[in-house]
Amino acid sequence: PPFPKIKKIIRENTFTVLEVECLIRLFHSLVERANVRLNNFGLDRNAFRAILHSVFGMTDDMLMNRVFFAFDKDNDNCINAKEWVKGLSVFLRGTFEEKLKFCFEVYYLNGDGYISQEEIFDMLKNSLHQQSSEEETDEGIRELVDITLKKMDYDNDGKISFADFEKAVKEDKLLLEVFGPCLPEAKVECQQLKLVKGTF
């Protein structure tokens, strides 16, 4: 029978007992491979970013950092086994509502619960390839910020609240990752679910 801690983790996630056990074994293996210091039992930001890149194909540094903070619920700069399983539960099997909340949490960069004009600018600038001068690029991004706010800022307060984000995404599901990819692609998701089921 699973340990009491595993039972609690199972109740809070969408995985079976076997899947949680596989994920926890995988977590411990990744921690060992990352050579994380023994007094800091878990995945630090660099180790986690390496996993996001190699396993999930993520490449955007800013968004990988934000995904790390979305997983790190206790804000100790280290992802423990419970945070790992909970985060992967949303990542791989999350409901639309869970993914909506996760993406919003990734996108509000300063932790104030709103996506500001400056945050939108930074995320768009980070994700767009610069093909012209910096000044022209910045002007184009400012125009995109204005268009985004017109589309998503329903209460016209100059920032996007969760209610604004939720309403916009429910009207157009393509807006879920409007500021950059922070969820695994469907094909990667499918491959990782096979891994979780112990068929690796």
Q: What is the mean pLDDT of the chain?
A: 84
Kindly report, residue by residue over 94-109, the tens digit of the pLDDT.
899 999 999 999 999 8
Q: Which CATH number goes with the domain that contains 170?
A: 1.10.238.10
Alpha-helical (H) ranges within the chain are 4-11, 17-33, 45-56, 61-71, 81-93, 96-107, 117-127, 134-152, 162-171, 186-196
Dihedral, 66, 67, 68, 69 alpha carbons, nearest 10: 50
Percentage with pLDDT > 70 across the chain: 80
Terminal CA-to-CA distance of the chain, rounded, Å? 23
d(CA 58, CA 64): 7
Q: What is the pLDDT of residue 6?
A: 62
Return the bridge partners of 116, or none.
159
For residues 69 and 191, the model is more confident at 69
| Single-letter amino acid code for the residue at 147 | I
* Predicted pLDDT of residue 186: 59
Both 37 and 72 in one domain: the answer is yes
Confidence of residue 196 (pLDDT cuts 50, 70, 90): low
**Domain span at 142:** 100-177
Residues 116 and 159 in one domain: yes
Residues 55 and 134 placed together within one structural domain of the fold: no
Q: How many residues does the chain have?
A: 200
Asked if pLDDT for residue 150 goes beyond 80, the answer is yes
Whether 110 and 169 map to the same domain: the answer is yes
CA Rg value for the chain: 18
Rounded to whole angstroms, how far apart are CA atoms 92 and 175? Answer: 19
For residues 136-144, give the mean pLDDT: 87
Task: Supply 69's token pair.
Answer: 């903070």
12 lies in the same domain as 75: yes
Question: For 8-24, what is each residue's pLDDT tens digit?
Answer: 666 666 778 888 888 88
Q: Are residues 9 and 89 in the same domain?
A: yes
Single out the residue of 37, 61, 31 nearest to residue 49, CA to CA: 61
Same domain, residue pair 11 and 49 = yes
Pairwise CA distance, residues 52 & 64, whole Å? 7
Instruction: Say if CB 52 and CB 183 are below 8 A apart.
Output: no
